[in-house]
Amino acid sequence: MAALHFSTAISSIAFGLFVLLAWFHNGSRGKVVGMVGTTKASDFIGYARVGWVLILWFIVLVFRSVYSGLELHFATQETSKSWMEAMQEGGLIRELQSKSPLFLLGIGFLLKWKFNWQIGRNWMYLLLPFFWIITASCIHYFQHFTFYSQMVLESKPIPMYTQVYHIEFGAMAGIVLLIPVYANLMLKEREWRWGKWVWIVWLITVIGFHILALRTGLILFYLGMAMIFFRYIFAVGNLDKLARRQWIQRTVILVGLILLTISVIPSTRNRIVNTWQDISGVVRGGDANHRSVGQRVLAWKAAIGLIKENPWGAGIHGEFDAMMNQYDAQKIPLQVQHRIGIHNQWLESAAQSGWMVLLVMTIFYWAIYKGGFSLLWMSLMGFSMVIESMLERQAGMLLFAFLLVFTVSLPRKNKEKEEDFQFNEGIS
């Protein structure tokens, strides 16, 4: 994840090394390191279920891209387009490259790989790249304070020193900032490498995170904080009435400090104003040509029409033209330069590969729940996929892979003991 900020190639190599290390560490014969003698074979049914769904997800995507390539190959034989050229244009190469983590992690779960995380020892290495990038980007923001503050009001992002697209960057930062809060409250993790310096760096990063007004990341951050606090106060924390009242009071004070911070930081305040204007425009049916939320809603409308006309998907190569046809057919009031892509992974997957992949994605979340894994982290990922096509870029796919590995490494539901750190038990 750290390498993504300056080299996607190095990031891909690092993920490949991670898979190889996981293979050699866990063994290729289905053994589980550190679990022998303490875990029943039936406890790994959840891992296998998730693994099979991931592999099925990958197969559906690859099959649809192969089918698109064959269509192109047979339709363009007169122009002598080779089979490999047709497959590449149909999206096969792209799907093999970008969606390979689905297949590799699926294999890992079938082989019963066990990922043992030591959050207190290693989390700082996740935080530091975001701390550096966010701090440097904030300095750059203050150097051009007036101009960038106005940009925020016009639905534009503040420039950052990273190659990662601002939406994925915000999502990644928000998730990384949530992990120590979860570990401290839910997993009772109290010892951290570098001690209190961790929380100082965390606080500086959180403040910079607000200054850069990364809307998607901020939504995920506060949504995750709300779920963690609710779970801790009312379910997992085992708090008496007095302690619960104190936690609620602290939460109210924290919310008040957040509101005060928002009123002081112009970029965050402007982002909220811009978002409110966008949503109000959607409700009133106003001009959406310069409104990111409005453009998204209209793109979703066009995508739904596309899926209805192409239940088996339009393919990667045909999605753009099909979307533009839907804009025209539905007489959607957007100028050509503002006719954006779908910006919703659920709809984009269905538009490209048909309703089948949408069904598999839904089954994936069912498999996570039935396996006794925490729904918190994958729910945040699922929500981010509603407002952005997160899995169409390498950063989003690696964030998905990271959260999946992190999710299955956490304590699972124990039916014989009340030692449960699972968010899903609070909503079941």
Q: What DSSP assignment string belongs to 27-57? A: -SSS--TTTTTTS-GGGGHHHHHHHHHHHHH
Mean pLDDT of 265-289: 85
pLDDT digit string (tens) for 53-99? 999 999 999 998 888 888 777 776 655 567 777 788 788 888 888 89
Of 191-195, 301-305, 421-425, least confident by mean pLDDT is 421-425
CB–CB of 301/330 below 8 Å? Answer: yes
pLDDT attached to residue 425: 39
Question: Does residue 145 surpass a pLDDT of 80?
Answer: yes
Cβ contacts of 316-323, under 8 Å, gap ≥ 24: 316/65, 316/68, 316/90, 316/91, 316/94, 316/95, 316/352, 317/68, 317/72, 317/89, 317/90, 317/91, 318/68, 319/348, 319/351, 319/352, 322/351, 323/299, 323/351
Q: What confidence tier does 32 reach under pLDDT thresholds 50, 70, 90?
A: very low
CB–CB of 344/385 below 8 Å? Answer: yes
pLDDT attached to residue 167: 92
Question: Does residue 152 surpass a pLDDT of 80?
Answer: yes
Length of the chain measured in residues: 428
Say what the pTM is: 0.87
pLDDT attached to residue 220: 94
Q: How far is CA 417 from CA 14, 123, 413, in A?
A: 38, 28, 9
Q: How many angstroms separate the first and last alpha carbons of the chain?
A: 33
pLDDT attached to residue 41: 54
Q: Which of 378, 385, 383, 321 is nearest to 348 (CA)?
A: 385
Can you tell me which residue has the tokens 């989003």?
Answer: 396
pLDDT attached to residue 141: 93
Radius of gyration of the chain (CA): 23
Distance CA 373, CA 382 (A): 15
Can you tell me which residue has the tokens 């406890």?
Answer: 43
pLDDT digit string (tens) for 210-244? 999 899 999 999 999 999 988 888 877 677 788 88
More confident: 362 or 273? 362
pLDDT attached to residue 346: 95
Q: What DSSP assignment string belongs to 261-297? A: HHHH-HHHHHHHHHHHHHHHHHHHT---TT-HHHHHH
Amino acid at 81: K
CB–CB of 376/427 below 8 Å? Answer: no
pLDDT digit string (tens) for 158-210? 999 998 999 999 999 999 999 999 988 888 887 787 778 888 999 999 999 99
More confident: 39 or 281? 281
More confident: 44 or 303? 303
pLDDT attached to residue 15: 86
CB–CB of 346/375 below 8 Å? Answer: no
pLDDT digit string (tens) for 384-405? 999 999 999 999 999 999 999 8
Q: How far is CA 335 from CA 288, 296, 327, 404, in A?
A: 9, 14, 10, 39
Distance CA 391, CA 389 (A): 6
pLDDT attached to residue 34: 34
Distance CA 115, CA 65 (A): 32
pLDDT attached to residue 81: 65
| Percentage above 90 pLDDT, the chain | 39
